[in-house]
Amino acid sequence: MMNRRFFLKTLLKLGVFSFFPTKILALEEIKDCDPTTLDIQGPFYIPDAPNIYNLSPPETNSDFLIITGTVYANDCSTPIAGAIVDVWHANKGELDDSSNTYINSNYEDEFYRSKMISDTNGNYAFQTIFPGKYLNGNYYRPSHIHYKSSYLNSDELTTQIYFDGDTSITTDPWASTPAATNRIITLNLDNNNNLNGVFDIILDIDPDEINTQSIEENKTIKSIWPNPINEHTYIYLENKNENIILEICDINGRTLSRKNIHKNKIHLYSLLTKKMKRGIYILKTIKENGVIDAKRFVF
């Protein structure tokens, strides 16, 4: 049985908590920043889910889905500590050999639900299984995870995430809308045969309404935006005139490129190698005093 303490140790071993997105204060204004879009709640929400990080049944011991992310204010750079992240999804269902897809899934009351609180840097994480599909009329809904998120007395954000490559997205009236584009996330397989994804939540809350006193002052990586990255993505650092070693690693921590830097703003594409395939990578900085900071990004 994988209890909460064992699960947290597993995440630390995998580097999940160390590699959280940690945008704190961007050195210049982030443009084209929009709050996370809405989606339907559906009929299967149950309030007061347990505050747990392993959502799957105790007998599940392999092939996990690990989702990490950060909750931000509407500037896409100020993290929100103490935000509520309420998630739920359907079970795996049955394997359809003809399509190699799990179908006929359903929602359970006991598992696949959690109501988490973001940590001092706005981060959250949970481990579960990849949800299956269920019929909605005469078509299958794509695999998805429901979210409800809020901060203090703010309005709740109700939405869903979907997964890149799901063939049911185009026929689904909610997943196929332009508003869902930034909620279709990429998954990457690690060496432990677990799927990994990153989903940042942007709440429509002004930064001056956020208590930022709990943010760690020794962080180096202030912002990477946008993420998933494109040719316009820059890294914003706070190096205080120190020499910093910057590394790009694969999802399992293997170094792909390494560079000494002295600047506060770096074009991320200049650090990528030609051998890098699309997926999740880790940006890691090492300061002269030994402090290490890291963030996962999607390429």
| Burial degree of 192 (CB within 10 A; 0-12, 13-18, 19+) | middle
Quote the mean pLDDT of the chain: 83
User: Is the per-residue pLDDT at 220 higher than 50?
Assistant: yes
CB atoms within 10 A of CB 63: 14
Both 235 and 203 in one domain: the answer is no
Confidence category of residue 115, pLDDT binned at 50, 70, 90 = very high
Give residue for tokens 């709740």: 156
Q: What angle do CA 201, 204, 205 make, to 5 degrees?
A: 105
Based on the fold, state whether residues 163 and 136 are members of the same structural domain. Answer: yes
Q: Are residues 196 and 232 in the same domain?
A: no
Q: Which domain holds residue 234?
A: 214-298
* 169 and 75 within one domain: yes
What is the structure's pLDDT at 246?
87
Q: What is the pLDDT of residue 179?
A: 97
Statement to judge: residues 186 and 222 lie in one domain: no
Q: Are residues 139 and 43 in the same domain?
A: yes
pLDDT score for 2 = 41
- Inform me whether the pLDDT recorded for 22 exceeds 70: no
Task: Work out how many domains the chain is built from and give that number.
Answer: 2
Domain boundary (208, 226, 244) is at 208
At residue 15, does pLDDT exceed 60? no
CATH number at residue 238: 2.60.40
The pLDDT, as a whole number, for residue 219 is 66
Q: Are residues 204 and 222 both part of a single domain?
A: no
189 beta partners: 195
Q: Which of 208, 231, 248 is the last residue of a domain?
A: 208
Please give the backbone phi and psi of residue 69, each rounded to the nearest 5 degrees, phi first. 180, 180
Shared-domain flag, residues 264 and 197: no
Question: Does an H or E element contain 246, and which?
Answer: strand 244-249
Lowest mean pLDDT among 20-24, 40-44, 230-234: 20-24
Same domain for 140 and 192? yes
pLDDT in tens, 131-187: 999 999 999 999 999 999 999 888 999 999 999 999 999 999 999 999 999 999 999
Residue among 173, 179, 98 nearest 137 (CA): 173
For residues 177 and 278, state if they share a domain.
no
Q: What is the pLDDT of residue 127?
A: 94
Residue 239, pLDDT above cutoff 70: no
Averaged pLDDT, 46-65? 92
Note the pLDDT tens digit of each residue in 270-290: 777 777 888 888 888 887 766
d(CA 239, CA 241): 5
pTM: 0.76
Assign residue 97 the CATH number of its domain: 2.60.130.10
* pLDDT at residue number 14: 42
Asked whether the predicted pLDDT for residue 102 surpasses 70, the reply is yes
Band (26; pLDDT cuts 50, 70, 90) = very low
- Residue 1 reports pLDDT greater than 70: no
Residue 62 has a pLDDT of 87
Let me know whether 218 and 197 are in one domain.
no
For the cut 80, the answer to whether the pLDDT of residue 86 exceeds it is yes
**Are 105 and 179 within one domain?**
yes
Q: Is the pLDDT of residue 248 over 70?
A: yes
Q: Of 179, 208, 237, which one is at a domain's C-terminal end? A: 208
pLDDT at 214 over 80: no
